[in-house]
Amino acid sequence: MDLTPERWARIEALFHEALNRPPAARAAFLEAACGEDDELRAAVEALLAADADAPELLEATASDFADLMPDDEPAAPMLPEQIGPYRVLREIGRGGMGRVYLAERTDVGKRVALKLVQGGLASPERVQRFLFERKVLARLQHPNIATLLDAGMTPDGVPYFAMEYVEGEPIITYARSLPLRARLELFLTVCEAVRHAHQNLIVHRDLKPSNILITADGQVKLLDFGIAKLLEDDSVTEAVHTRTALRAMTPEYAAPEQVRGEPITTATDLYALGVLLYELLTGRRPYEVSGRTPGEVERIVCETAPPKPSTAVTRAVPERTPTEAARLRKRLRGDLDTLVLMALRKEPERRYGSVGALIADVRRYLDGHPIAARGDSAAYRLRKFVGRHRVGTAAAALVVVLLLGFVYREAALRAEAEAARDAARLEAEKAEQVAAFLQDVFKTSSPAGEAQPDATARDLLARGARQVRQELAEQPAVQATMLHVIGDVYFGLGLLDEADSMLTRALALRRQVLGEDHPDVAETEDVLAQLRNQRGAFEEAEALARQALATRRVQPEPDSADVARSLQTLAQVLNRQARYEEAERLLREALTLLPPATNPGTATAQIQHDLAGVLYARGKVPEAETLYRDALAIHRQLYGDHHIRVVEGLNAVGLMLREQQRLDDAEQLLRQAYTRGRRLLGHVHPTVATITYNLALTLQNQGHLPEAEALYHEVLAMDRELLGERHPYVAGDLDVLGTLMHDQGRLDEAEAFYREALDLRRNVLGPDHPDVASSLNNLAALFLDRGTLDEAERLYREALDLRRNRLGMEHPKTALSLNNLGATLQRMGRLEEAEALIREAVAISRAAWDTASPPLATYLNNLGEVLANQGRLDAAEAAYREALAVRLTLHGPDNARVARSQVNLARVLVQQGATAEAETLFIAAARICRTTDPDPTTLAEALRAHADLLIALQQPARAAALRREAQAVAPPDSPAAAQNRMGSTADATEPGS
């Protein structure tokens, strides 16, 4: 075979496509994809065989890998002068897929570490390993991980890739002169890099000082992911279970499960981080295993308890003086001993649950807070508190005493005995102390904390509210603060009426006592704006948010965090009004006011979460997903898994996956959010309603209509109870119930829901809100299915005009309206108009998504139909082929949408005389719709079209059998069946818009 770069690209593409299919489906795929090119098919099959039989990628060490080289390879080959655009300088090692060279890119002079597969493509097994390693490395984009810069092939077909060339010293050597705190900060940087890998489902498996270099400017660089394990790759995971002869590890840093050859998880890297931290703190490793037999190594690592780091200091680093050693022992004793030994536990499940949890505990230690690895005894926590607040401990104790006696009256009596100025000062100080303490008490009942909201928590709030009104009537400033605190907690519990009452009273009191421009007034305005926004009172919410922002900006020394908070609140209000550009600008400004991203906190994560929501509304789904995932990672790091912010993040990422038609993944995340949300917040809460809505939407997309319908009714009841009848969320609930009825062919019920949703949206949101366009679109789809084409055209045009004006010409929903109007005009025989509209939709979709997207496949499919009806069969074939390729990429080979594309393409091929390929596609589509993704409508369509072809080929007996099967499986003629056949409207209705 003449293996040109183009030929190799084709082999690689087919290999990956085949690899994503079940083994049983690969032969049929290759037969269709390779046609009569036997050499092409043989090359792909060789790679597939290597993938099935090969040990895990790069599991062997350099010496093991030498056994895979051709027998006739020279022991010391001549140094190549040039590899691709790189000039080779010298060999710097062997590992991974072969030799590694120091090279320089000739056009820019940049030095790289260049990995080259030895022996070219003689071994498909080694090529497959190389491809997998490249995929692993390309996913790791982090400032502290050596970067994959380039990848390609030599003219001889030898793959290579260029890595960032790192010059530095191992972390242990570098850290010897650093103080303890600096060592821990350095360790945290390493942990962040490892956590990034874990978030990409990659485990390093060989973390050790020689793989962690510190550059001359002090930057950490983590090297050698060439033996990494990709957690999501099934074939690779199986190899871990079955092959242990070539374990990739360094015994001194290997976890017990690694030594025993058991499955590798993120806990394996956690153990290695524990060893690294042990060595950073003490100067020695927990075990010395050099020179030991494998059996001895296993016994030591798996059965011997390591000495505490504080004990190990006595035998480490000879240059340390006795005084220095004693001081270090004292600092290690207690928390650091416990923290390190938890990471080094023998059982993976008893270590920290994630690298993020380890990071959080190290940070707690550095900040003087109790670490999670220690017990929760009151004495321990009191010691940590006193250590952080030595000066303030007496004052804190006073607050407790004051609260236990609720001594506001006593305070007033003392105030009368003092001068007026001192009394006022004391009152203000006590107000702050009492409010802070009560806020902490109440928030333990809030879902943002660990406890679950229940009747007891609500009773406590009600009693507190009564007590504040009765006891603090003569102290309006204190009363206002307490009303604000209680209202804020009511808001967190989803008790919106009670929250509104408390916050409105607090605002009136604060304005009366403090004046309009006081920061405390802005605080209450901000929270009340969020509440009114959630209740759909957008004008009131915007006025409150703008006033709070203005007040905070004009303070003599503005608090940047407060200003960021107000920017975020105003952006939330504008987002609900579809004023997306202004909302995005405010959120990006807010991010600039917060601490740098190297140490993000919850404020940064929440603003990133909101910014993602705005980007999603603007049609930027990939960018939104990235931000949602970043925010979720920060919240997990800060709070663990069982916190409302994490639940909201799971919901958001699940929604992004649903948008990309990754429905199984979306369902999994949304069910997690649903279960945790109900446990944390109860069954009736605004956040629970949102999660339930998105879960129902996903189930509807999967065809699980009874469960989806039950959940939609649950959401509708919840929203009506929490928000009232005239709220935008209620309109959204009615709209999705309409789409559900529509999917089932219950068109009269669907129309009633659609019209009620449309009227409510027009009245509540205004006639030009983008959500109104969604209702118009869905109602138009219904008239299209009824065959009332003039009314469908009118409604689609109204929706399109609204979206062009409010969302812009480049928005994905504008593309959706263009497609739907084009599909309608096609039904009306106005093919040239239809083609122009659908081509515009295709162009917008290509620009809006950086990868293949479900809408693009739909629009291409509809374009193919228009072109076929015009008799432009070559152009129609091209459109249908691209639609099929997109759907294969998105859904894999066993999806009903793929089957529909196969049927459409096959019909055009029949008209062009390509009957063999057409029959293959009809058979494949029928198989999908019979078995892996049942779809009676598409199955009947495929069978009938195949039968028509067989009649033309003079095979009447086979044709008759297919027609009988089609008659048996076809559902009754219904509008739902018509929309599937058309290929556009099934994806054009907009549940949840």
In sign, the C-alpha dihedral spanning 531, 535, 537, 538 is: positive
233 and 191 in contact (C-beta within 8 Å)? no
Annotate 408-456 with DSSP letters as a single string. Answer: HHHHHHHHHHS-HHHHHHHHHHHHHHHHHHHHHHHHTSSTTSSSPP-HH
| CB of 648 closer than 8 Å to CB of 676 | no
Got the DSSP string for 521-560? HHHHHHHHHHHHHHTT-HHHHHHHHHHHHHHHHTSSS--H
Per-residue tokens: 898 = 């793929």
| DSSP for 909-969, written as a single string | HHHHT-HHHHHHHHHHHHHIIIIIS--HHHHHHHHHHHHHHHHHTT-HHHHHHHHHHHHHH
Nearest to 743 by CA among 694, 699, 773, 796: 699
**Given the residues 64, 67, 206, 785, the one annotated as active site:** 206
Distance separating alpha carbons of residues 811 and 769, to the nearest angstrom: 15
Ramachandran region, residue 614 (left: φ > 0; alpha: ψ -120 to 50; beta: rest)? alpha
Active-site residue flag, 935: no
Query: Across the chain, how many H-helices and E-strands are there?
Result: 45, 11
- CA nearest 46: which of 14, 69, 68? 14
- CA separation for the pair 773, 780 (Å, rounded): 10
CA-based torsion, 199, 201, 205, 210: positive or negative: negative
Sequence-ordered strand ranges (E) for 118-266: 148-153, 159-164, 169-170, 202-203, 212-214, 220-222, 229-230
Please give the structure tokens belonging to residue 404. 């236990």
Question: Using an 8 Å Cβ cutoff, are 799 and 776 in contact?
Answer: yes
> Is 865:857 a contact under the CB 8 Å cutoff?
no
Closest CA to 862 of 893, 909, 821, 804: 821
Q: What is the rounded CA–CA span in Å between residue 691 and residue 682? A: 13
Q: DSSP characters for 104-146?
A: EETTT--EEEEEEETTTTS-HHHHHHHHHHHHHHHT---TTBP
Task: Give the amino acid at 808.
Answer: G
CA 125 – CA 119 distance, rounded (Å)? 12
Q: 3-class SS at 289?
A: coil
CB distance 88 to 103 below 8 Å? yes
The first and second tokens of residue 540, run together, are 């009131």
Q: Is 951 exposed, middle or buried (0-12, 13-18, 19+ CB in 10 A)?
A: middle
Distance of CA 899 to the CA centre of its chain: 29
Tell me how far apart the alpha carbons of residues 717 and 685 are, in angstroms, rounded to a whole number. 11
**CA–CA dist 15, 960 (Å, integer):** 38
434 in Cβ contact with 480 (< 8 Å): no
- Residue 198 belongs to what H/E stretch? helix 180-199
53 class by beta-carbon count within 10 Å (0-12 exposed, 13-18 middle, 19+ buried): exposed
Q: Which residues are catalytic?
A: 206
